[in-house]
Amino acid sequence: MDQSARPGWGRNVVVSPNAVVEDNVNLGNNVVIHAHVLVRHGTTIHDNAVIGRVPQVAGIIQRTPKQDLPPLVIGANCVIGANAVLYVGTTIGDDTLIGDLACIREECQIGKRVVIGRGVMLNYNIIVRDRARLMDTSHFGGDAIIEEDAFVGPHVCTANDNTIGLRAGVTRQGPRIGRGASVGIGAILLAGVTIGEQAIVGAGALVLADVPPRMMAYGMPAKIQGSVPPDLLRPLGADPG
């Protein structure tokens, strides 16, 4: 593609002829945009990002990625950090920030005004709803749901199979983090647990069971420690401050 007609593009940009990049999109140096990608207007993609990667497997990987995935769609006025890798089959809503070195796999649905921090890994088939914030280096196994206004601290990890792949026929299901819930730094959420609306999970907690709405849980393993004080209830439907 002729870059001379596109102001705001850096050096060594590669854009597939089958990709659509709308007006007023800024691309840093060495950005690669594969086929089956739509980048909406006003978005900025920083250096060395790979946009629209197709999933592949090798060796003993058990899960076979789906074929014929829909395009990767990046909404308007987003910021995609340096060295981020985004796969086809995912949608990203308007005004969302994806940090440097983040990776978002196929079949994810990311809402509007979401913050996904530096080095966050989102595996396949994850839903992140509007205004959720996932802080740096968090790792989410597949099939998780993070609802509106949830906050997930740095280094949080989640599982979608508590048998570590040792038992055949297990239905994989990641955790569900409810609206306005808060998960502290370094917490571990095992497969299938639900963190209720506006609940709080303490730093370093190992969550083996559901945490009811507006309750606090912490410890190893986590135990319910009482109700969330009113002054710690996170506002719902508000832009993060």
- For residues 183 and 229, give the distance between their C-alpha atoms in angstroms, rounded to a whole number: 16
pLDDT tens, position by position, 48-74: 999 999 998 776 666 677 778 999 999
- Per DSSP, what are the bridge partners of residue 21? 39
* Torsion angles phi and psi, residue 15, rounded to 5: -125, 125
Rg (CA), the chain: 19
pTM of the model: 0.93
Confidence of residue 4 (pLDDT cuts 50, 70, 90): very low
End-to-end CA distance of the chain: 40
pLDDT tens, position by position, 114-155: 999 999 999 999 999 999 999 999 999 999 999 999 999 999
- Per DSSP, what are the bridge partners of residue 157? 139, 188
What is the per-residue pLDDT for 60?
66
**Residue-averaged pLDDT of the chain:** 93
Q: How many residues does the chain have?
A: 241
Q: Is 190 a residue whose pLDDT tops 80?
A: yes
Number of helices (H) and strands (E) in the chain: give both, helices first: 0, 30
Cα–Cα separations (whole angstroms), residue 239 to 94, 133, 149, 150: 13, 11, 8, 11
- For residues 101 and 121, give the distance between their C-alpha atoms in angstroms, rounded to a whole number: 9
Q: Does 1-55+66-110 match 120-234 in CATH topology?
A: yes
Confidence of residue 231 (pLDDT cuts 50, 70, 90): very high
**What's the CATH fold of domain 1-55+66-110?**
UDP N-Acetylglucosamine Acyltransferase; domain 1 (2.160.10)
Q: pLDDT exceeding 70 applies to what percent of the chain? A: 93
Q: Does the domain at residues 120-234 carry the CATH identifier 3.40.50.1000?
A: no
- For residues 217 and 227, give the distance between their C-alpha atoms in angstroms, rounded to a whole number: 9
What is the per-residue pLDDT for 115?
98
The domain limits of the chain are 1-55+66-110, 120-234
C-beta neighbour count of 8 within 10 angstroms? 12
Taking residues 1-29, report their average pLDDT. Answer: 86
pLDDT tens, position by position, 75-120: 999 999 999 999 999 999 999 999 999 999 999 999 999 999 999 9
